[in-house]
Structure 1
Amino acid sequence: MSTTLQMLDQGSLRHILEAHNLFKLRKAGGRIANLSYIDLTDMKLEGVDLSDANLTGARLYGASLRDANFTRANLYGCDLRNADLRFARFDRADLRGACLRGANLTAASLIGTDLREGMIAFKDEKQGLRLMKHEKRAGELDHAIFNGADLSGARMNGMQAVSADFRDANLAGAVMSQAKLRKANLSGANLTGADLNGADVSGADLTGTVMVETQTSGCNLREADTTGTLDTPKEVFIDERPLRDFVALHEDWAKTGGAKGSRQVLSGVDFRLAGDLRKRVLTMLEADGAILFGLDLSGIELQGANLINADLRRCNLAGADLRGARLIGAKLTHANLTGTNLGPLDLGGGRLMRSDLSRAHLSHANLSNADLTRARMLEAVTEHVIDKGCNYMLAERA
Structure 2
Amino acid sequence: MEIPRTRSIIQMGILSVVLAAGSYPAPALGADSVTVVSTNPYYLLQETYENPRGQVMAGTTVGTCVVQSYARCPEASLKGRYLQGAFLSYARLGNADFTRANLKAGSLAFAHVVGASFRGAELSATTMIGANAKRADFRRAQMVLMDNSHAVLRDADLRQAIIVDSAFTKADLRNVTLDRAIVRNVSLESADLRGVSFDQTDLSGSVLAGARIDDGALDRAILCNTVLPNGNLANPSSTGCEGAPSFGPHDATIVMTPANPLYPGAQAMQDSTPAVPFGTVVNGCRMQVKAKCPYVNLSAQNLSNVELSLSDLRGANFEGVGATSMNAPLSKATRLRGAGGNFQVAGFGFSDLTKADLTKAELSFAAFSFADLDGANMTAANLAFGDLSGASLVGANLSGVNLSDSNAIGADFTSANLRGANLSDADLTGADLTNVLTDGAIFCNTLMPDGSVARPTKGLCPLQTEP
Structure 2 length as normaliser, TM-score?
0.46
Match of 1:322? 338
> Structure 1 residue aligned with 2:319, among 298, 303, 306?
303
1:102 is paired with a residue whose SS is coil
Q: Distance in 2 between matches of 1:341 and 1:308?
A: 17
Q: CA deviation at 1:270?
A: 3.8
Q: CA deviation at 1:198?
A: 4.8
Task: Work out whether 1:332 is the aligned partner of 2:377.
Answer: no
Q: Judge conservation of contact 2:184–2:202 (CA < 8 Å) in 1.
A: yes
**Cα pair distance change 1:150/1:339, threshold 3 Å:** farther
Structure 1 length as normaliser, TM-score?
0.52
**Cα pair distance change 1:186/1:305, threshold 3 Å:** closer
**Cα pair distance change 1:306/1:221, threshold 3 Å:** same
Match of 1:24? none
Match of 1:177? 175
Match of 1:341? 359
**Cα pair distance change 1:140/1:170, threshold 3 Å:** closer
Match of 1:240? none
Q: CA deviation at 1:207?
A: 0.7
Q: Judge conservation of contact 1:150–1:169 (CA < 8 Å) in 2.
A: yes
**Cα pair distance change 1:218/1:361, threshold 3 Å:** farther
> Structure 2 residue aligned with 1:265, among 283, 286, 290?
283
**Cα pair distance change 1:141/1:274, threshold 3 Å:** same
> Structure 2 residue aligned with 1:197, among 184, 195, 198?
195
> Structure 2 residue aligned with 1:95, among 85, 95, 114?
114
Higher helix share: 1
For structure 1, the 5+ residue unaligned runs are: 1-38, 118-138, 235-263, 344-356, 374-381
Match of 1:86? 105
Please say which structure displays the higher CA radius of gyration.
1
Q: Judge conservation of contact 2:210–2:229 (CA < 8 Å) in 1.
A: yes
Q: Judge conservation of contact 1:290–1:309 (CA < 8 Å) in 2.
A: yes
Match of 1:160? 158
Q: Distance in 2 between matches of 1:229 and 1:306?
A: 23
Match of 2:186? 188
> Counterpart of 1:214 in structure 2: which amino acid?
R
- For 1:1-398, list aligned pairs within 5 A: 40-41=62-63, 47-50=68-71, 53-64=72-83, 66-69=85-88, 71=90, 73-84=92-103, 86-91=105-110, 93-116=112-135, 139-145=137-143, 147-157=145-155, 159-217=157-215, 219=217, 221-222=219-220, 224-232=222-230, 265-270=283-288, 272=290, 274=292, 277=294, 280=295, 282=297, 284=299, 288=303, 291-295=307-311, 300-303=316-319, 311-313=327-329, 320-323=336-339, 332-334=346-348, 340-342=358-360, 362-364=365-367, 369=378, 371=380, 384-385=385-386, 387-388=402-403, 389=421
Q: CA deviation at 1:177?
A: 1.9
- RMSD of the alignment, in Å? 4.7
> Counterpart of 2:337 in structure 1: which amino acid?
D
- Residues 228-266 of structure 1, C-alpha deviation per residue, up to 9 Å, x if partnerless? 4153359xxxxxxxxxxxxxxxxxxxxxxxxxxxxx822
Q: Distance in 2 between matches of 1:64 and 1:286?
A: 43
- How many equivalent pairs are there? 275
Q: Judge conservation of contact 1:71–1:93 (CA < 8 Å) in 2.
A: yes
**Cα pair distance change 1:166/1:47, threshold 3 Å:** farther
- Percent of paired sites with the same residue: 6
Q: Judge conservation of contact 1:48–1:65 (CA < 8 Å) in 2.
A: no
Q: CA deviation at 1:227?
A: 0.7
Q: Judge conservation of contact 1:198–1:218 (CA < 8 Å) in 2.
A: no
Q: CA deviation at 1:162?
A: 0.8
Q: CA deviation at 1:107?
A: 4.2
Q: CA deviation at 1:84?
A: 1.8
1:185 is paired with a residue whose SS is strand
Q: CA deviation at 1:318?
A: 8.3
Q: Distance in 2 between matches of 1:154 and 1:326?
A: 32
Q: Judge conservation of contact 1:332–1:362 (CA < 8 Å) in 2.
A: yes
Match of 1:26? none
Q: CA deviation at 1:154?
A: 1.0
> Counterpart of 1:170 in structure 2: which amino acid?
F
Q: Distance in 1 between matches of 2:65 and 2:95?
A: 21
**Cα pair distance change 1:143/1:313, threshold 3 Å:** same
Q: Judge conservation of contact 1:370–1:390 (CA < 8 Å) in 2.
A: no
Match of 1:253? none
**Cα pair distance change 1:82/1:177, threshold 3 Å:** same
For structure 2, the 5+ residue unaligned runs are: 1-60, 233-281, 388-401, 404-420, 424-461
Q: Distance in 1 between matches of 2:73 and 2:106?
A: 20
Q: CA deviation at 1:341?
A: 2.4
**Cα pair distance change 1:218/1:314, threshold 3 Å:** closer
Q: CA deviation at 1:199?
A: 0.4
Q: Distance in 2 between matches of 1:317 and 1:100?
A: 39
